[in-house]
Amino acid sequence: MRNQEIIQPNQNLSEIDPVLAWSAWEPSPQEPWDARRLRHLMRRGGFGAKPSEVQTLANGPVSNAVDALFGKHTAQSSEAFEQESAQIASGVRSGGNIESIAAWWLHRMLHSPSPLIEKMTLFWHGHFATGADKVKDTELMVQQNQLLRVHALGDFRKMVHEVSKDPAMLLYLDSATNRKTHPNENYARELMELFCLGEGNYTEQDVQQLARCFTGWEIRRKSFRFNPYQHDSLTKKLFGIEGIESGEQAIDTVLAHRSMPTFIAGKLVRFFVCDEPNPTSEFLEPLAEEFRKSDFSIEPLVRKILSSKLMLSNWSIGKKVRSPIEFMIESMRSLQMTSNLDRLSKGLEGIGQALFNPPNVKGWDGGRSWINSSTLIGRSNLMVDMLKDPATRFGRGDLDAWLKSQQLSNPDQWLDWLGESLLSVQLDSSDKQRLLSATEKSEVGLDRWRKTLVALSQNPKMHLS
Amino acid sequence: MKRRNFGQLGIGACAGLAIGSGHPGRWLQTLAGELASQEDRWLHSDRILVVIQLTGGNDGLNTVVPYRDELYSKARPKLGIPTSDLIKIGDMGLHPSLKQLDGLLSEHRFMTIQGVGYSAPNRSHFESMDIWHSCHTKKDRTQSGWLGRMISQQGSSSSDSPVIHLGSEPLPLACQEKGVQVPSLASLEQMRLKS
């Protein structure tokens, strides 16, 4: 049976059979379901595993671990978490500064019992990228963030309809100047190029026609309003289809385009499975088929990707560069570390990932572009800053107590623990030698335990997922 | 750095300015070829090529103004700059706020290249920027930029990179090429490793 086949780690994507790649992964003697694979899944589908999750989930079936990412069976902890999060939100909203809102979101990523929801919200934030610098209204940015969270795993078509009427998005893509006599093409273009279809699947005429459909879509008192006086009510033609009039009809027409399911599946694969290379549409077809079959519900598509052979085989381990958020939040979750999240959000901005301010409407490029000489040093420096911050706690206590609770009593053990918990690609003996000797000399500043974590942050393996 | 802040620094600092929309390939290729052919000269001199990329929108027609062309007044019926306000260079005029360039112009140390584009443009901003940085009209999947390729072709005699990127954004595509490492420097402070 072909399903018994193993995908070899060094195989080219083009040599892998698409049906095999997206079939459900099953444990085998070569690829057992163990703590390492569980951590890989939790890293990609969430923000890393907490120590408490590792044992419980690695001993159960794979489907339990996938369910845990979705936040199934955690109703109680979810209620307590939502209360805490709402409390933080009410505190920062009145202040209105975007770093504090970013800190509120980072708190959700650190503590949410449904990490996949936050990961998908982050995915959609990069997909429907909207920047606070231009919107200049914190309240509207929070409103959009909630919209993305509510639909994160829901009905994609419904999400696109609502995003198209979202005030922050309308401001960001200049709907204010989209008038009957002078249609502004920005939203129309990006709806097709970046949000639904990808470049090359529409013509310039389609952009012009689509822009006319959205004329009169305005904001009044921070809400969407349709202004019939500014709307061009003549019929328009999209992709050769005649008789389209309203913006809603136009969105439905874009969503029905044959390239939509493949485009969305491709972006999800790049987000969850591998940065490179770009998969072909043939390779994505089983996923596109799943998306169509579920009437464009996001959850079954994401579940199929996360449970797939390609995702859970050794092939995909180490195939992504960690984003700044993944680098910090995964480390903090594994170490049960809490800290000054305002400082963390500023620090993340410095190394290329300012929440609520993606670089442009295309979102973060990700992959190799996360790393350059400044950001690599910046990552290590941010780790130093967070470790030195007086608010930093480990499991609600200090690091010494936490190390004892984990039964870690010497630097060798500590380095092994860090390697196992934080790295997808394991340290070899020369890495370990170097890291241990780098932290040997006791100098002023951080103690040896903290220094080990900082030294590890300077190792390239720390930045792979 | 924000584009606006750079403008305030004084544009006199700028040696070459490209304005317009479109296909940069040919002249950038020529420039890269020129640099590579004179490798000896520029490798062993203190001269430094500074490439300043002002990313974002700019009204090219109102920067270098084709004031004698009647299409100009049609395209800018309200926003057009009165002819008397322009700094004139033959058939063209510079926006009055660019008067510092006038001096450079008279010393032949400043030029503009207009109408840069590619045929049958699809008007995607991202596609245009990819072409600008890579000098490839066809988006081949291996991403490499014109400066990156130049470094790769001329090889490097020392371990230091001949190109450095200054700025806090990710490394521009122009500087990328397989096997080529171009350091990014946002600020000197950021290059200091804390302990």
- In this prediction, residue B21 has a pLDDT band, given cuts at 50, 70 and 90, of very low
Average pLDDT over every residue of A407-417: 92
Give chain B's domain count.
1
- pLDDT at residue B159 greater than cutoff 80: no
**The predicted structure's pLDDT at residue B13:** 33
Of B122, B127, B165, the CB nearest to A204: B122
- In this prediction, residue B16 has a pLDDT band, given cuts at 50, 70 and 90, of very low
Residue B124 forms contact with A (CB below 8 Å):
yes
Average pLDDT over every residue of A385-407: 93
Instruction: List the domain range (segments joined by +) for residue B65.
Output: 3-191
Q: Which of A372, A377, A387 to mutate to test the interface with B (most CBs of B within 10 A)?
A: A372
Q: Which of A187, A195, A205, A374 to mutate to test the interface with B (most CBs of B within 10 A)?
A: A374
Greater pLDDT, A14 or B191: A14
Residue B4 forms contact with A (CB below 8 Å):
no
- In this prediction, residue B43 has a pLDDT band, given cuts at 50, 70 and 90, of low
Q: For all residues of chain B together, what is the average pLDDT?
A: 78
Residue B195 forms contact with A (CB below 8 Å):
yes
**The predicted structure's pLDDT at residue A89:** 86
- pLDDT at residue B106 greater than cutoff 90: no
Please write the tens of the pLDDT for every residue from A157-206.
Answer: 999 999 999 999 999 998 877 889 999 999 999 999 999 999 999 999 99
Most confidently modeled of A283-297, B6-20, B44-58, B75-89? A283-297
Residue in chain A closest to B194 (alpha carbons) equals: A381
- In this prediction, residue B23 has a pLDDT band, given cuts at 50, 70 and 90, of very low
Q: Which of B139, B190, B191, B192 to mutate to test the interface with A (most CBs of A within 10 A)?
A: B190
pLDDT over 70 percentage in chain A:
97
**The predicted structure's pLDDT at residue B17:** 34
pTM of the predicted protein model? 0.87
- pLDDT at residue A75 greater than cutoff 80: no
Please write the tens of the pLDDT for every residue from A433-448.
Answer: 999 988 887 655 568 8
Q: ipTM more than 0.85?
A: no
Q: For all residues of chain A together, what is the average pLDDT?
A: 93
Q: Per mean pLDDT, which range of A199-208, A244-253, B28-37 is the poorest?
A: B28-37
Distance from CA of A440 to the nearest CA of B (A): 13
**The predicted structure's pLDDT at residue B142:** 58
- Touching B: A residues 142-181, CB under 8 Å: none
- pLDDT at residue B45 greater than cutoff 50: yes
Domain boundaries, chain A: 134-317, 324-463
Which two structure tokens, joined as six digits, stand for B70?
């009647």
